[in-house]
Amino acid sequence: MEIAYASSDEERREVRDFLAKHIDDIAETAVPAPSMDYAFKPLVPLIRGEDGQIVAAALTCRALLAGSAVITGRAEQMFGTALDRHSELDLLAVAEGARGDGLGTRLVHDLESKLAAQGVRVWFGNVTAGNDVERLRAFYSRLGFTVLADGQPLPPLLGRQWAPPLTEEPVFVFYKKLARQS
């Protein structure tokens, strides 16, 4: 099973629908349309099963606040050089029947490589209640992320405090400093 990247409106809707089946309460606009790529710089990997259906997908992009700053023309003023040096792992899901086959790990490794090649230095995300919190804590730890204690906020990264606007308080947050690629 190959990793592909959703780049068309149709593929992005398909990924959004897949993620919505596996993650409660994601917004209709959770996966940015290609017309918004300039603002959010998303990477939307997916893996299809033999039947052609998506069995794993993810979304990493600029933090919502940073993407909004691009749209309003305030990105440089608000973020300076940190704008393109961060990415938020916003969504990741693997179909129940495909869990344990390493698909989530493959997506994370592929994303990490692409982000590092793009110059991203810090990758972060969070896990909210209603998810398999302990399994996800172990998953991110195993993949080299620093997993913070429940309720602990992200430390300043890239000289900025990252406190994304949240609809739900996370149980825990995680981050990883990415190695520079030569």
**Hey, what are 7's tokens?**
């780049």
Phi/psi for 114 (5° steps) reads -65, -45
Nearest to residue 43, comparing CAs of 97, 123, 103? 123
**Inside any domain, residue 156:** yes
**pLDDT at position 163:** 65
State the CATH number of the domain containing residue 151: 3.40.630.30
pTM for the model? 0.92
**Inside any domain, residue 88:** yes
Tell me the average confidence (pLDDT) per consecutive run of 10 residues in the chain, 182 residues long: 96 97 89 96 97 97 89 90 91 94 97 96 90 91 96 82 69 92 65
CA dihedral defined by 4, 121, 16, 161, rounded to 10 degrees?
A: 180
Task: Identify the domain containing residue 173 by its residue range.
Answer: 3-177
**Inside any domain, residue 164:** yes
Nearest to residue 124, comparing CAs of 169, 78, 156? 156
**pLDDT at position 130:** 78
User: Domains in the chain: how many in total?
Assistant: 1
**Hey, what are 49's tokens?**
């099963």
**Inside any domain, residue 147:** yes
**pLDDT at position 132:** 85
**Inside any domain, residue 182:** no
